[in-house]
Structure 1
Amino acid sequence: MLTLEGEIVPGDFSSLVDIAAKEFLGVDGESSAHDTICLDSPGGDVTEGVKLAEFFYKNGVGTVIDDGAECYSMCAILFMMGIAQGPEVTFVNRKLHINGKLGFHRPYLSLTTESLVSTKALAVAHDVALENMNKIMVLANNLVPWSNSTMMRPDLIQEMLKHVGNDFFYIDTVEKAGRFEIELLGLPRQSAPPEERAYYACENSFHWQVGLMKEPVDARKFQKPVTQDEAIVKFLQAEGGTKYFSVTSMDAGYSEAGCLIAVNGDSLQGCGYNGMYNVLLGQGTCTVENFAARSWHIGQLASYRPGLKLQELGGAATQPKEASSEPIIGAKVPATCTVFSKQGVKEVEPCAATLTMNVVVDDRRTDRYEFIWPTGNKTILARDGDFFTINGKPSIPYTEDGYTLCALNSETRNRFCFKL
């Protein structure tokens, strides 16, 4: 209903109060969700910005960064205070378009001249800065309604304080938007397979309660298992238009970590438990039989790959494109072969790759690669339909940036990757 454009300067707060009294409708019987302000600002005066942010939070003003708009510095704090209030419902109300820009950095004193400044003036400026920072922290620590979360999570505050000047912490991935509870506008309809969506829904639902992942999970690394028992995502049953999947989290091992996810068109629901972080999805571990009572709705955003850039969402495929051509059968081509152990890179050598067989019968593909190392040793990667082997041992193939293909040896747990 309103737009704030340009630098935030003294006087903006009183202007907003006057205009809001005329334009904002307040609670419509349910909430103030329609009272929104679009933000397109580089930031500006911190003292004025703090007053605006307090007004947004106390009066139920929602915030929007529209297509092509930019919101940095103090504007980013204003954006995070977007909320809707009502007598019975209160909820976070902040929306970022996938083509908008949102960046955080810590407040700083900008001196444009080299003139001498009195120590008294510096002391006053220092006290004002601390007072405003304290007000920002109070705002940030206000609880999200119906939640134990805060309007700005501690790790977002930490990132904000680590970035200075033109070095911004950007909300530029699915994971960051999800972790910091920012609704995205312009999301395309999800076209990924239901198994992939179930996998991400489980992992994101856990980790967005905890913090940003050091390495965001990627379903492309866990495709085409040798057997159903080895699958990260297992199909359980279909009922009506709903498919049920059991998902094993990457955190599973010494503790239980997994979900039961139901996919029905664009709708997702789930329940589960992650023992590594002691967090629940829904009401914890469940079965298909008690799923309805123990599961919660999962937003569409959670079904995307967390490392996906927001600007890629407009038309980015969730799966890597297949190579447009195959190596010539029988021809040796130079390649790079790499073996990874659990501890990291174990061996990287130039090698010679030969495709000795490539057959497709009734949509069942069979092929065989031979890789000859400088020592003369061979690594044979074979495929028979959906069954893969490395040197005759069952293997799980996956894709990884920088390599043509990788495969996990299910016995040794070493990973072999090659690049043509």
Structure 2
Amino acid sequence: MPFPYVLLSAAVSLDGCLDDTGPSRLLLSGRADFDRVDAVRASADAILVGAKTVRADNPRLLVNSPERRAARLAAGRPEHPLKVAVSASGELDPRARFFRTGGEKTVYTTDEGAERLRRAGLPGTGTSVGADTGSGTGTGTVSVVPLGGELDWRRLLAHLHDVRGVRRLMVEGGGTVHTQLLQQRLADELQLVLAPLLVGDPRAPRLFGPGAYQRGRLRLVETRALGDVVLMRYEPTEPGAGGDAAPADRHWLRIACELAGECPPSRTAFSVGAVVVAADGTELARGHSREAGDPVVHAEEAALAKIDPGDPRLPGATVYSSLEPCARRASRPRPCARLILDAGVRRVVTAWREPDTFVESADGTGVLAREGADVVVLPEFESRAKAPNRHLL
């Protein structure tokens, strides 16, 4: 089930608070970071907030820069990203700036919440994800999407991806929304701004609530000073359980697809990228087809050759490959599926099943599965994996 890329964005005090308990909003960030957030908004297809944020902050969720709005329009995109609110109860004020300022808006709620919103003067009378309706309210349209008896984040994200065409989702809060997305392993990135002040009030709202989070450490991918605040960007690292597509799976498969684009072009072989990642999220090696001048080396083969065969992390590792590992090949005695099994790896994530272009009845997945390996196919990455191979298809 394909989902958008989910980016969580928040600013907190040194003691982890989103706000204080005073009557006005605590200003945590500064001008430089506000401009950065505006740029992130402009890059997104949608911006999502929870009901508490709509009620407490009354945000507009618009792109402020005229230049960025013009660039979106020039690229054939709406002037502002889709604005998304999530409310199980449907207790939202139709007079809120979320509804009364520009851009299209969507509210995800329960069946009960949809009825409450209808009575409050907002549209939305359906009883399923496919039954949302829209009408004019202020500037832009409002759609109400009921998700049944309770909120289901996976159905919500799938609807955003499949129905609304959202590929990049920016989540601006609040703490409950961020907590749920991280605990359900649905976040791909966390952009956290740390402000140099202390709130010190135990009643103040905090960014994350209690519960079960990923076991491993998040990966720090960037730090940047913006005036007197610091931006820290993190990515989750823990693979999902039971073959589910965790954020880490999407992250590493995205890299494998990018590596495929680095392959020297060929009319007799596919361009493939591969990454081998330990269970704790440590990258062990990467490779791509025809690497280092070898005209017949395959991506998985190139990556595994860089790892000590005795490395104790291999049995718990995952091989991410843009194309299903080969089950047969003429250029070398052992196909990549066999190389993976012989290395002790028992989990493979791929974007694309191998077509019969060069080998009839290719079935690397079958070879791996018959020996107990778990193979996960993420079809939302198929187009990326095919891109450097279009001349062969």
TM-score range, shorter chain: 0.3 to 0.5
Q: Output the TM-score relative to the length of structure 1.
A: 0.32
Q: Output the TM-score relative to the length of structure 2.
A: 0.34
Larger relative CO (CA 8 A, sep 6+): 1 or 2?
A: 2
* Structure with more of its chain in helix, by fraction: 2
Q: Which has the larger radius of gyration?
A: 1
